[in-house]
Amino acid sequence: MGRVVYDIETYPNCFTACFSPLDSDGGYVFEISDRRDDSAALLRYLETLRLMVGFNNMGFDWPILQYLREMPNAKAPEIYEFAMRIIGCEDRFAFIIWNPVIAQVDLYRIHHFDNRAKATSLKKLQFNMRSNLVQDLPFPVGTFLSFPEIDVLLKYNVHDVLETKTFWFKSQDKIKLREAIEPLWMNASDTKLGRNYFIRELENAGVQTHTRPEDGGRKQPIVTQYPDGVTLGKIIFPYLWFQDAQIQQALEVFKTVKVVDTIAPDGTLSRCANLPTGADGLPVVFKEYKFTLDGVEITMGLGGLHGSIERKLVEGCGIILDLDVTSFYPSISIRNRVFPAHLGLKFCEVYQKLLERRLQTAKGTPENGAIKLALNSVFGSAGSPYTCFYDLAFMLGITINGQFLILSLAEILLRVPGVRLIQVNTDGITIVVPEDKADEVHELYMAWQAATQLPLEANRYSRLWIRDVNNYIAEYTNGKRKRKGCYQAERDWHQNHSMPVVRMAAEASMCDGIPIEQYLREHKDPWDFMMRLDLTKTSRLVLDDGRELLGVVRYYVSPTGHSGTKVMPKTKTKIHGKGHAEAVGKRGEWVCTACKKVFKRKEDWANHADKEHSSKIAIAQEYSGEPINYDMRYYKGEAQKLIINERFIP
């Protein structure tokens, strides 16, 4: 009892609040408008609650309800004015009430959607959750609503509550983890949850991580700063040395790089990496370093390295061996005694105890999950001056040395005749090993493991379809598959879940020999064909029948649909304008792949493709899973773009 999901809406002449119990159907609707005033009933209802679940409720909904609790006679205009103050405030924490009188669970914060890189609206989640209705705000903010429009708003408000409730049930793994570890951290993101867990372990070990101002204000993290910057030559491990001339040259270059962090008065962090001054006497800005290793271009930066063969099928040319360092960053810190200067050597001791504890706890348990988050999040916080782990030399000591340690593993194994490099990334490598060299390679990487004290996990693939280092399908010798990037059908909540059938069809074609068209024709789930278009406040989708759509639009490509144009302040772009057509050839002879017509200019082909081959779209904002008339040519063409057939030849 007393546990609800809720959402509010506010307009100049209308305020609504909807609630639905977590453990039953139905709910309650309250309205404060020109036609009725439920404020007293709403306040009485709030007194019966002990837990309220929402979406961005910590930053918006609850502060408004708390305002209403403090100003019980407030009417819709006053509530709206307060809401606009929240929306217009540049400080996103200014109105948050950290200790609300009624416990709040904010799914927006738990999933870290308040991070710019993961920003996700409830409307995008409606698409990703395959909701029957994807519905945006029915009226522009600031509209004075008529009584019939208020009824529409109430229906929309109820819909949002039910969608939030659905997301609550889909978030139970995160909810249960937080309930088991520390309920007070319920609204922390995974990163913050792991960081808090590690901080608690440090403080239990007697390490001071924060200070509290004399005036009793908010505690501040202890950090280590380097006003003059960090020269990488001072933090690179002295035992690193290479026989390969190109890797050794990279090492020498990195030793001369100087990294400086500048923190502005408003707290904004800017990071700059410089090489010694150039001919003009000015520092040379360092972004990345590239060289070739075994025919593969390697790119190194301040954060990590990567390199890969591209668009190749690796099969039948030896053993495909993948080597990854387990808990890479924690292991580097522990084995080499790299730690934030202000936290001391105890940091490494706590790190090691947590690593050992995780190995002793069962996978899938809350304790194991919390330790995993702690191990992973600490390093991710090392570059942020707002956490107690901030130490630029510590962060770079892990990332830079980590890159060269992986390169040392690659160099050792590539000395074996016939071994070929497939890919290298931040924490591991993939190689092809001749059958008769398997024992020699095993001895070498075990020797590397003993020398560096970095634990390796070895896996064998039977086949590997690799577009690049971030996009591939790897098939293990037991038949299971690992999918990355554009081949990953299941995605995180903050990602776009558009047309997974394309990725499925490409995999079926490459891995199982099923023709793309056959797979698409036999695929029975129409949801997998759906696509998402995200329109900003300054853009809209205009269809050829005159309809205009805003916000998040769900659609699929169909021969019986409409052409659509995305209209922005200065440009117009037709959605899937060229459809399934592509241009191949050379200057003066551009061939349309769809109809084989030849054009002298690519611009002429583009106009032709836009007119003759542009794909039509069918809007599916309200959809219940019924069969659809999709454009086979379009989805087949998109799947074909993912196909890799060219074999890797050692």
SS3 call for 3: strand
Contacts of residue 76, Cβ cutoff 8 Å, sequence gap at least 6: 10, 11, 12, 13, 14, 15, 32, 33, 34
Residue ranges of domains in the chain: 3-188, 230-340+382-483, 528-630
Q: pLDDT at position 605, please?
A: 83
Whether 280 shows a pLDDT value over 80: the answer reads no
CATH superfamily of 230-340+382-483: B family DNA polymerase, palm domain (3.90.1600.10)
Q: pLDDT at position 609, please?
A: 80
Total residue count of the chain as it appears in this document? 650
Burial tier of 513 (Cβ tally within 10 Å: 0-12, 13-18, 19+): exposed
DSSP secondary structure letter of residue 135: -
Q: pLDDT at position 573, please?
A: 87
Phi/psi for 501 (5° steps) reads: -60, -30
Burial tier of 275 (Cβ tally within 10 Å: 0-12, 13-18, 19+): middle
Angle at 640 between CA 636 and CA 641, to 5 degrees: 125
Q: Residues 378-413: pLDDT tens digits? A: 888 999 999 999 999 999 999 999 999 999 999 999
Q: pLDDT at position 199, please?
A: 95
Q: pLDDT at position 219, please?
A: 87
Whether 426 shows a pLDDT value over 80: the answer reads yes
Report d(CA 33, CA 181) in Å as an integer: 43
Give the pairing type, strands 471-476 and 220-221. unpaired
Share of the chain above pLDDT 90, in %: 82
Q: Residues 501-523: pLDDT tens digits? A: 999 999 999 999 999 999 999 99
SS3 call for 103: strand
Q: pLDDT at position 71, please?
A: 95
Q: Residues 137-191: pLDDT tens digits? A: 999 999 999 999 999 999 999 999 999 999 999 999 999 999 999 999 999 999 9
Report d(CA 233, CA 559) in Å as an integer: 61
Q: Residues 29-71: pLDDT tens digits? A: 999 999 999 999 999 999 999 999 999 999 999 999 999 999 9
Burial tier of 109 (Cβ tally within 10 Å: 0-12, 13-18, 19+): buried
Which of 26, 22, 28 lies closest to 8, judged by CA?
Answer: 28
The secondary element (H helix, E strand) that includes residue 290 is: strand 289-293
Q: Residues 617-641: pLDDT tens digits? A: 999 999 999 999 999 999 999 999 9
Q: pLDDT at position 581, please?
A: 78
Rg (CA), the chain: 29
Of the two residues 35 and 584, the one the predictor is more confident about is 35
- As a whole number, mean pLDDT of residues 350-370 equals 89
Whether 602 shows a pLDDT value over 90: the answer reads no
Mean residue pLDDT across the chain: 93
Confidence of residue 578 (pLDDT cuts 50, 70, 90): confident
Confidence of residue 1 (pLDDT cuts 50, 70, 90): low
Q: Residues 368-383: pLDDT tens digits? A: 888 889 988 888 899 9
Q: Residues 197-255: pLDDT tens digits? A: 999 999 999 999 999 777 667 789 999 999 999 999 999 999 999 999 999 999 999 99
Inter-CA distances, 502 with 136, 166, 617, Å: 27, 27, 16
Whether 580 shows a pLDDT value over 80: the answer reads no
Share of the chain above pLDDT 70, in %: 99
- As a whole number, mean pLDDT of residues 576-599 equals 82
- Report yes or no on whether pTM surpasses 0.85: yes
Q: Residues 319-343: pLDDT tens digits? A: 999 999 999 999 999 999 999 999 9
CB-CB contact of 244 with 421 (8 Å): no
Number of Cβ atoms within 10 Å of the Cβ of 541: 20
Phi/psi for 625 (5° steps) reads: 95, 10
Residue 7 Rama label (left phi>0; alpha psi -120 to 50; beta): beta
CB-CB contact of 392 with 223 (8 Å): no
Whether 133 shows a pLDDT value over 90: the answer reads yes
Least confident segment among 73-77, 317-321, 367-371, 452-456: 367-371
Q: pLDDT at position 9, please?
A: 98
State which CATH number among 1.10.3470, 3.30.420, 3.40.50, 1.10.860 fits the domain covering 3-188: 3.30.420
Whether 281 shows a pLDDT value over 80: the answer reads no
- As a whole number, mean pLDDT of residues 455-471 equals 96
